[in-house]
Structure 1
Amino acid sequence: MTLQGLTMGTSWSVRLVARPSGVADAMQGIERVLDRVVAQMSNWETGSDISRFNRSTPGTWLLPPPEFLTVLDAALEIARLSDGAFDPAIGALVDLWGFGPAGPRKTPPADDAVADALARSGWRRIEHDMAALRARRTATAALDFSGIAKGFAVDRVSEWLAGQGLVHHLVEIGGELRGSGLKPDGQPWWVDLEAPPGVAVPVNRVALHGLSVATSGDYRRWFEHDGRRHAHSLDPRTGRPIANGVASVTVLHPSCMLADAWATALTVLGTEAGLALAEAQGLAARIIERAEQGVREWHSSAFRAMAG
């Protein structure tokens, strides 16, 4: 059976091996899990934990929920390992470019506005203490979990289902997926990896058996001005949309939260640096690049081993 709905500005679906009598309970449980993630991590909700954090006085320790701190801890670690290519503290830049709660825009912001938002951003301005379950801003940097929260929500739904004894399922939120167990026919959950629209690349099909997949692409949210597309994938180091030719990055990982964040980091880094980091971290990654000679597809060694 398939359950579905809306959350986090996108759609969700769960394919589930279960008796029909359990549908109502499963639907309610999934929605509770998703509502909890939104209540903690949505910048669009003024009363969410992340919104309260972003309004807090710099230097003041707060006590966010454990799930919030789990995501923050992972985000800061990937920011460190990627040397800031992934950065959870670029809320000011996300808003400035029209991809946040402030609403969309039709023209790029002025250079001085970008410089100002960049000066107020950055993961090094966020501190956390997992032992004491606390976190704080040391400056007016604003958190934005849009590059990691969907993956975390996928994990939480999958974990909740397993805790209910519903171990055979495929969870999807906005294109990020995690599979557990098997289908009724005994086959794993086979999925075709997402590719940018209009891009001709060979179909890659993977079995999500205790595995997650996340894709970051330049085609999901963007605006065009003077013939140039400005995508939602921002480079935290420059404060501007990426322009490195990367069309999409797909990462396979047991954790959808980590797959989500790593896909964003590799997208920002670009093909050469992204592949190098994927190799260093043992990540199964596929990069699709738009180049003058046409579309090119690149695979990390871990991806090739998994596909082979």
Structure 2
Amino acid sequence: MNRVFHPQGIIALFFLTLTLLISGCGQSDEPQELYLEGKTMGTTYHIKVFAKQDKLDALNLQPEITQLLKDINQSMSTYIPDSEINTFNRLAAEQVMPISNDFRAVVSESIRLGESTKTLDVTMGPLIDLWGFGPDKKPTKRPTDAELSAMIAQIGVDKLILTEQGLAKTIDGLELSFSATAKGYGIDKVAELLESHDLSNYMVEIGGELRVAGKKPHDQDWRIAIEQPDTEPGVRKVHRVLAPGNNGIATSGDYRIFYEMEGVTYSHLIDPATGMPSRHDLVSVTVLHPSAMTADGLATALTVMGMDKAKAYAEKYDLPVYLIGKSDDGLVTYSSPAFKPYL
């Protein structure tokens, strides 16, 4: 039996088939989102990756990321008794300890930042404990000037000796804490892992610090919010949104971790030169840097400096920095020249 098709029906069928083919091609080429999350370093991590579905299907990233972060934590956590950092902290003076590449990278950058800023000191864990911001309970009274002077004499990155053979300390009792740099380093290592798999569009976040690269679908830039620092406890609001490009992003401030004692408010950010918690007009610092570890360390260091010194440091080294300070008239803000293109 002969079948007769009307020409218009053939044309309609052709365009329907063509539309389906184009639609199918579009779907296969459109980047898809892979979302991963977990726990690490006493906090959480969240990762977003955009890539073609066939590439994502061919990878099994979660186990790799889990092992990578586990190794870093084993190296740098002071809460793990046999960690690399605790092994060094128990070491006697003048003894050289061979160290892993990860440990070397973090201690090297921590020493550099400490010498440059004078306000970041990875050896002042005992001083932080003395003020009650470490794992021990907070003190019921302010440390005496004599206690602070004695503690200051026992800290300082100048008491670390880093050589090709390893790391040593010049005095007994010197201890390391990478609370200002380890999270950022973990972010950088995860980013390196993603890039080793030719993944170039991603966001990696650990404990509030981030690193982003590439784009989201439809050529959209990544957008990151800076938090409003003067909200009520338990309330979080957006202060400003930025497009950070391919950078690590770290924000530090004294508005979340503090306590009051004898009528005085004490911040968890301590000046290693004086041994005193920072008490000035600077409440939030956001830093952009290709390395999340460097951004993390700088954000802490600049917050301790205060508004004027932080502005001067940012301009001297051409750093993208955004500062929020407080005044009698409310909040004041500052964008360094290098930061303005990201707003």
TM-score by length of 2: 0.82
Deviates further, 113-122 or 270-279: 113-122
The answer to whether the Cα contact below 8 Å between 1:44 and 1:101 also exists between their aligned partners in 2 is no
* Residue identity in the other structure for 1:37: I
- Looking at structure 2, the residues matched to 269 and 262 of structure 1 have their Cα atoms a distance apart, in angstroms, of 10
- CA 1:203–1:51 in structure 2 vs 1: closer, same or farther (change >3 Å)? same
Larger CA deviation: 256-265 vs 222-231: 222-231
Bigger shift: 195-204 or 65-74? 195-204
Cα gap change, 1:3 to 1:105, in 2 (>3 Å)? farther
8 Å CA contact retained: 1:74, 1:258: yes
Letter in 2 for 1:113: E
Mapping for residues 158-197 of structure 1, pairs under 5 Å:
158-197=191-230
RMSD (Å), alpha carbons: 2.2
Letter in 1 for 2:166: R
Displaced runs of 4+ in structure 1, greater than 6 A?
199-202
Q: SS in structure 1 opposite 2:218?
A: coil
Superposition pairs of residues 191-270 of structure 1, within 5 angstroms = 191-198=224-231, 203-270=239-306
Q: 1:10 to 1:63 in 2, by over 3 A?
A: same
CA distance in 2: counterparts of 1:31 and 1:128, whole angstroms: 29
**Corresponding pairs, count:** 304
Change (3 A) 1:122 1:23: farther
Q: Give 1:1-308 correspondences, 5 Å limit.
A: 1-18=34-51, 19=53, 22=57, 25-82=60-117, 84-105=118-139, 107-129=141-163, 132-139=164-171, 140-198=173-231, 203-307=239-343
Judged with a 3 Å threshold, the aligned counterparts in structure 2 of structure 1 residues 27 and 162 are, in CA distance, closer, same or farther, namely same
Deviations 1:41-97 (A, max 9, x none): 111222111111111011111111111111111111111111x21111112112222
Could you tell me how far 1:116 is from its partner in structure 2?
2.2
CA distance in 2, matches of 1:162, 1:77: 26
Which TM-score applies when normalising by structure 1?
Answer: 0.91
Which amino acid in structure 1 is aligned with residue 221 of structure 2? Answer: P
What whole-Å deviation, never above 9, does each CA across 1:105-164 have from its counterpart, x for those lacking one? 4543343332222221111111102xx151111113211111111111111111111112
Return 5+ residue gaps in structure 2 as ranges: 1-33
Q: Which moved more, 1:114-123 or 1:64-73?
A: 114-123
C-alpha separation in 1, matches of 2:123 and 2:340: 33
Tell me if structure 2 keeps the 8 A contact 1:106–1:223. Answer: no
Q: Against the structure 1 CA distance between its residues 184 and 106, is the aligned structure 2 distance closer, same or farther, given a 3 Å change threshold?
A: farther
Contact 1:105 1:223 in 2 (8 A): no
Structure 1: runs of 5 or more not aligned? none
Question: Kindly, what percent of the aligned residue pairs are identical?
Answer: 34
Superimposed CA distance per residue, residues 263-292 of structure 1 (whole angstroms, 9 cap, x where no aligned partner): 111111111111101111110101111222
Alpha-carbon offset, residue 234 of structure 1: 1.0
- C-alpha displacement at 1:6, in angstroms? 1.9
Distance 1:253 1:228 in 2: 35
Largest Rg, 1 or 2: 2
AA at the equivalent of 1:53: F
Q: Is the 8 A contact 1:43 1:101 kept in 2?
A: no
When residues 46 and 104 of structure 1 are mapped into structure 2, their CA distance, relative to the original with a 3 A threshold, is farther
Name the CA shift for 1:4/1:227 in 2 (closer, same or farther; >3 Å).
farther
